[in-house]
Structure 1
Amino acid sequence: MFNKVAIITGAARGIGKGIAKQLVQDGYDVVIADYDLKTAQETAEELKSKGYKAIAVQGDVSDAQAHKDFVKAAVDNFGRLDTYVNNAGLCQVESIPNINKESLDKLFGTNVYGTVFGMQAAYEQFIKQDDGDKIRKIINASSISGHQAYDMLATYSATKFAIRAYTQAAAKEFAKDNITVNSYCPGIVLTPMYEQIEEEMSNITGAEIGEFLENFTETVTLKRPSTAKDVANFVSYLASDKSDYMTGQSVLIDGGIQFN
């Protein structure tokens, strides 16, 4: 019996690393795809030292060819592809009057183009495989900011709304091919990306480091920020057979910040 195979973009650290650590425990072989090859290799070696199968691949997700390379690495090393997790993302704190083409290109390039190109590469491979009625999975990273836009995070929010739209459209298009498409929508997750947001918020507003986190945590029903493990637990469900009848959904996993 072969293991399932997953590609996770942006998996060298943060939420992506948490997802990789969870999926190998679920029986997946994983491709750690990241722009930072050194850290990706460290993550892959960490998983391999525990007896799991993992490889690291470098690439810029805003480039469609990079996703094709990720898929080739998965097939060459593990023989197939079952799940593609479009996790890689960037955030930038800026007020609307200060938004420029450079920041738009950067965030839309990674967050939106990266998701679309990832879905295309996954779809192409899934169609090649003779999997019968087996359900294959595409899992995208949206956000609470994809359900409700936040001030100082307008462009980031716009990209996450776009990912929800692509998730819904792809779910409708790909259903006939036994491919489901869903997305996860985290809130505050204690990762290097959050540390960046905290620092940028502090620089702009003059607030002390930690003040933004403290104030935002008060809006969380469960009264704590989430960890990468919290998000990975839900992605584990989306990547499992238990979610085979679920598609086109963008689910909040935020400890109770928003209620939709």
Structure 2
Amino acid sequence: MTVPTITLNDGLQIPQFGLGVWQVSTDDIEPAVGKALEVGYRHIDTAAMYGNEEGVGRAIAQSGIARDELWVTTKLNNNAHGFEESQQALKDSLGKLGLDHVDLYLIHWPLPARNDYVDTWKGLVELQKQGLTRSIGVSNFQPDHLDAIIAATGVTPSVNQVEIHPTFTQTALVAKHQELGVHTEAWSPLGQAEDLRNETVTQLADKLGKTPAQVILRWHLQKGYIVFPKSVTPSRIEENFQIFDFELTGDDVAAIDALDEGNRIGPDPDQFN
């Protein structure tokens, strides 16, 4: 199956679907990434904070897949904010990944009380100029954070990776992304499995002969989001990839849109420091 791509505001094409590896252990990381690459995934999303960049790198090396066929994202750790600190942090991540560049580097959290995310963004701009990352973006940024870094540098993030799932749709933030030309990446796309039990979702799954997870992931794709569910179970990794052979109707998408109830599961970016 061919994974659709999205053209970012810097002209690069990112696979719209990939594998997330948050909370994947050292023991599980290589087999999980290896299985995903075998199935056909070509986009892996990791982070320094996850502590599994080495395993991701080993799985990539063992796969034999050409580097230019893969999209690898990692993220700056919260203890490495600042212009100078960000320079070394990406070099450290590249060493662990065994790569000479990543495709996308993100500021993981804005940490607004520290008020250093603008200098940190300037560091990522420099890293992109050096070729250590092809594209740069942010994660968990709110509209005012986005406005601040763009005003300071004239450089708009290619993506903002934020919590989005059917019961937490972040409509206003997504509208801000569209206004700025920032693409939306969705973390916790299944609501940490809570949204899988929603009656609307299960009824759609029964109607379509798909699983609730496949229905929600298809909703993300049709909303135009970049999405990367996490799993370490080989059958689930394969199942999650089987979402390119069906479509939701406009009414189906609207029914899932209507499930929003402000159900934030992760930290509030305005408060998390």
TM-score range, shorter chain: 0.3 to 0.5
What is the TM-score normalised by the length of structure 1? 0.39
Give the structure with the larger helix fraction: 1
What is the TM-score normalised by the length of structure 2? 0.38
